[in-house]
Structure 1
Amino acid sequence: MMRVLVVLLVLLGVATAFLGIGRQQSIAVSGRLICNGYPAGEVRLKLYEKDILWDTLMKESYSGPDGTFIIAGDGREITNIDPKLNIYHKCNYNGPCVKKFGITIPDQFISAGKHPRMTYDIGTLNLANNFDGQSTDCIN
């Protein structure tokens, strides 16, 4: 039974992605990243649509030299997209990989269509802080 459910979910995802089933939806996120009070430039940002089996990358970008960013992406889903922003950084970390944490974007910032009408502002984040779900990522 579980195998059948997984197959159906995969087929639904493939149909949504390749056959144009579902609604086109978009999201935009902005903010400013700092590390110990200094701008955190060139921080890697990835906007994903969370799915059951694997997350779909909607857009990838980097913060500017002053730590500010705006990133927007879109996707097609039958239900509301479930967007999250992953942030990859080296603030206070000298290891071979990067630190990673994600921020789930509230549903009220999802727009219908390919171009977002609103932007979710995460404010200023100090990457020196510890964030829920933060991990180390070597393959990003």
Structure 2
Amino acid sequence: MVIRLAIVFVLTFVSCQEENDIAAKNILGIGRMQAVAVSGRLICNGRPATNVKLKLYENEILFDRLMEESRTDSNGQFRVSGSKREISRIDPKLNIYHKCNYNGLCYKKFTIKIPKDYINNGREADRTYDIGTLNLANQYPGQSTDCIN
């Protein structure tokens, strides 16, 4: 019986929506709000990569938490920022989903980890991590195909 109750508690905790999670952490005073921002420009074969999907995540043990979703503008430029309440330091990453030189049904995806020194306490990022200009025609470490994004 105790094991069943523990399993129910764990499953309830894991499936908790982010809003409830944040509310619970605020009520209990657990953790601190931390923020991060990333900017850059994406091109495809020398041309601006427009409308490319970008997702800023907090890397979690079980399920990554989305902090912000955005798209590149007509010049291929973007800036995404987000914040999250955590007990330990957040571990942010930026996923880039694109179809540069790819005609499949899904998207090419690669991840950029954000250095820890670009994370600060608070709801707004103090500094922005600039990834520079990336040519999506290149191959990036860990690049894969993603159909559910």
Q: Corresponding residue for 1:22? A: 31
Larger Rg: 2
The residue correspondences of 1:51-66 to structure 2 (distance < 5 A) are 51-66=60-75
1:108 aligns with 2:117: yes
The residue correspondences of 1:1-140 to structure 2 (distance < 5 A) are 11=13, 17-20=22-25, 21-140=30-149
Whole-angstrom distance in 1 between the partners of 2:34 and 2:99: 32
C-alpha deviation, 1:17, in angstroms: 3.3
TM-score, normalisation: structure 2: 0.84
SS of the aligned residue for 2:117 comes to helix
- One-letter code of the match for 2:61? I
Whole-angstrom distance in 1 between the partners of 2:79 and 2:104: 27
Query: Which structure 1 residue ranges, 4+ long, deviate > 6 Å from structure 2?
Result: none
Whole-angstrom distance in 1 between the partners of 2:120 and 2:139: 31
C-alpha deviation, 1:65, in angstroms: 0.6
C-alpha deviation, 1:12, in angstroms: 8.7
Whole-angstrom distance in 2 between the partners of 1:136 and 1:83: 21
C-alpha deviation, 1:92, in angstroms: 0.3
Answer whether contact 1:16 1:77 (CA < 8 A) is retained: no
C-alpha deviation, 1:19, in angstroms: 1.2
- One-letter code of the match for 1:101? F
Whole-angstrom distance in 1 between the partners of 2:142 and 2:62: 19
Instruction: Report the identity percentage.
Output: 58
Q: Compare 16-25 and 100-109 and name the one that shifted more.
A: 16-25
Aligned CA RMSD, in angstroms, stands at 2.2
TM-score, normalisation: structure 1: 0.89
Give aligned pairs, total. 136
Whole-angstrom distance in 1 between the partners of 2:110 and 2:92: 14
Whole-angstrom distance in 2 between the partners of 1:87 and 1:116: 20
- Point out where structure 2 has 5 or more consecutive residues left out of the alignment: 1-5
